Amino acid sequence: MSANNLTAVTGKKTKSYAAQKRTALIASYVFLTVLSIIWVIPILWVVLTAFRAEPGQFSSTFFPHAYTWVEGDIQYTATYTLDNFKDLFTPREGFDFKKMWLNTLIVASISCVISTFFAVATSYVMSRLRFKLRKTFMNIALVMGMFPGFMSMIAVYFILKSIGIHQTLLALVLVYSGGSGLGFYVCKGFFDTIPKALDEAAMIDGANKAQVFFQIILPMSKPIIVYQALNAFMGPWMDFIFARFLMGTNYDTYTVAIGLYDMLEKERIYAYFRQFAAGSVLVAVPIMVLFMCLQKYYVEGVTGGAVKG
């Protein structure tokens, strides 16, 4: 598409400049519209499925159609319904979505605070303080980041089990935030761009390093803190490998990710698919809202780490 677009701009020298420009612009709009449709369709489909009246995993059409069913003696016909959401929140043996949602919220909030602190503290130290083992630490961190994350899953499980806290929410918090000090590279990139003269000026005025950190650097680092926090908060909503492995059969501590994944198991998928969609919407909406509000910071965070100078 873009190649067309570029040739449209440069290829035909005979056309007038304005006409070329118009063709390029139209091509751009067409391209962007097609792109938007591709990106929106799956999301739209989940939302439609969440409100669909027809049961089952697969509907024969993209947009739901009228569906008739009998309940008691009364015959119902509907295309869209809210029953899926009602169903989702009806607790049943081994499946309590409200609880899962709350569990995830708790885990996400706590581990968001802890891991943001860990990551920001580590990256600040690596970026602005100089001490003997700094380079060593950075190289070790780089090396450890290259081991596949859940290679250590079994070991973590046994460690938590030996202190008796596996299958608890605390275990999840520890797992999600414990190693977050290693993820300092993006954040360090941000701190690297803050001029050192600021620190020096403050130190001349008699501030110690702790004061420089808390009173000068932290207030300036809102974008990167928001970026870290957002990532850390979103993690527990999306991870199900660790959660699944640690929680085993303890339904009380399941998170939404486990719940949603379980709904798609072969023997459940037919009965639960619409509820799965409804649950997905309920998980996605808060995160989307949060994300849209904080998008500005997120972009600054993503680029701040990469852009230098």
Partner 1 sequence: MFQKKDESEIKIEDSFATKLSFVIMGFANLAHKQFAKGVGFLAIEVGFIIFMIMGGFQNLINLITLGTVETHDEVVPGKILPVRVFGDNSMLFLLFGVLTCLIIAAFVMVWRANIKSARQLQVLDKQGKPIPSFLDDVKLYLDEKFHITLLALPIFGILAFTVLPLIYMICIAFTNYDRDHQVPGNLFHWVGFANFGNMLIGDERMSRSFFGILLWTIIWAFFATFTNYFAGIIVALIINQKDVKFKKLWRGILVLTIAMPQFISLLVMRCFFSDYGVVNRTLINMGVLENVDHAIKFFSDPTLAKITVICVNMWIGIPHTMLMSSGILMNIPQDLYEAATVDGANKVQMFFKITLPQIIFTTTPYLIQTLIGNINNFNLIYLLTGGGPTNANYYSAGDTDLLVTWLYKLTSGNRDYSLASTIGILIFIISATFSLITYRNTKSYKEEDAFQ
Map the footprint of partner 1 across residues 84-103, applying CB under 8 A. none
Q: How far apart are CA 195 and CA 246, in angstroms?
A: 44
Q: Which of residues 145-174 bind partner 1 (CB under 8 A)?
A: 145-156, 158-159, 162, 174
Options 64, 97, 110, 181; binder of partner 1; rule CB under 8 A = 181
- Sign (positive or negative) of CA dihedral 26, 32, 38, 43: negative
Minimum gap (Å) between residue 238 Cβ and partner 1? 5
Where does residue 188 rank: exposed (0-12), middle (13-18), buried (19+ CB within 10 A)? buried
Query: For partner 1, which stretch binds (CB under 8 A), given 68-76, 92-100, 215-223, 278-286?
Result: 278-286
Tracing tokens 């995160």 back to the chain, one arrives at 287
Locate 50 and state its tokens: 């969440």
For the bound state, the minimum distance from the C-beta of residue 278 to partner 1, rounded and expressed in Å, comes to 12
Residue 179 and residue 108: Cα distance in Å, rounded? 15
Residues 188-217 binding partner 1 (CB under 8 A) are 189, 192-193, 195-196, 208-211, 213
Q: Alpha-carbon distance 223 to 268, whole Å?
A: 43
Nearer to partner 1, 70 or 151 (CB): 151
Q: Which residues contact 306 (CB under 8 A, 6 or more apart)?
A: 189
Count of residues touching partner 1 (by CB under 8 A): 106
For partner 1, the binding residues in 48-77 under the rule CB under 8 A are: 57-62
Does residue 220 bind partner 1 (CB under 8 A)?
no
CB distance 35 to 45 below 8 Å: no
> Residue 55 or 178: which CB sits closer to partner 1?
178
Q: Segment 8-37, which members bind partner 1 (CB under 8 A)?
A: 9-10, 21, 24-25, 28-29, 31-32, 35-36
Does 47 bind partner 1 (CB under 8 A)? Our answer is no
Locus of tokens 């885990």: 107
Smallest distance, partner 1 to C-beta of residue 89, A: 18
The yes or no reply on residue 308 touching partner 1 (CB under 8 A) is yes
Rounded Cα distance between 233 and 108, Å, is 5
